Amino acid sequence: GDSVTQMEGPVTLSEEAFLTINCTYTATGYPSLFWYVQYPGEGLQLLLKATKADDKGSNKGFEATYRKETTSFHLEKGSVQVSDSAVYFCALLNTGGFKTIFGAGTRLFVKA
Amino acid sequence: ETGVTQSPTHLIKTRGQQVTLRCSSQSGHNTVSWYQQALGQGPQFIFQYYREEENGRGNFPPRFSGLQFPNYSSELNVNALELDDSALYLCASSLGGQQETQYFGPGTRLLVL
């Protein structure tokens, strides 16, 4: 079945460091890919998405590119801030559009 | 525009009991999806309701059931609670039976003793 695998955390970075969180997926058909973020004490929020191969999703300085050849959707940010500390979830939406599958999440700590 | 709300925020039940969780979708949204998020894990899809019909289901047993009402609010019912049902239950609302753009509520934290 469809699945998402993302790098285990926690990831601890200093402010202004470069961030990469790896995500790979297994799916039939042509899924859409997402990154969601869960800030401490808040609900799950959509961070960015890409709906087809080679699309790049971007938001708040974060970027991820849908790579069909490597079945990956890695999250990157050039310079993290303390306020980026959160749990990040990679997810895919099946071709039918009614079943989102999430990875286990990666906790990010950013130190001042 | 009203966001997604869930009630109650916290709940404690004992094994074997039944529980009902409630979700009000964002204004104008006709689709509600339910997820279970165990501690330290990602959300797992339980099922989705679109126009009062279940139109998608994850790998959860039949003791997990739901309803959607004409105003598109929704309930999740869990019968014969087990200890492993302890989790954060999230609902998300969207449009058109799709989860392309879904908005999540804050969740209900259920503890089964």
pLDDT 10s digits, A5-31: 999 889 999 999 999 999 999 998 889
pLDDT in tens, B16-71: 999 999 999 998 899 999 999 999 899 999 999 999 999 899 999 999 999 999 99
Contact A44 B43 (CB under 8 A): yes
Residues in contact with A62: Cβ distance below 8 Å, sequence separation at least 6, in sequence order:
A35, A47, A48, A75, A76, A77
Contact B41 A104 (CB under 8 A): yes
Residue A97 pLDDT greater than 90, yes or no: no
How far is the alpha carbon of A80 from chain B, nearest alpha carbon, in Å? 23
Which residues does B contribute to its contact with A (CB < 8 Å)? 4, 33, 35, 40-45, 48, 50, 55-56, 58, 90, 92, 97-102, 104-107
| Of the candidates A22, A5, A13, the residue with the CA atom closest to the CA atom of residue A86 | A13
Q: Residue B72: its pLDDT value, please?
A: 93
Residue B90 pLDDT greater than 90, yes or no: yes
Give me A49's structure tokens: 């998405």
Give the C-alpha separation, A44 to A49, whole Å: 14
Among the partner residues A4, A99, A103, nearest to B56 by beta-carbon distance: A99
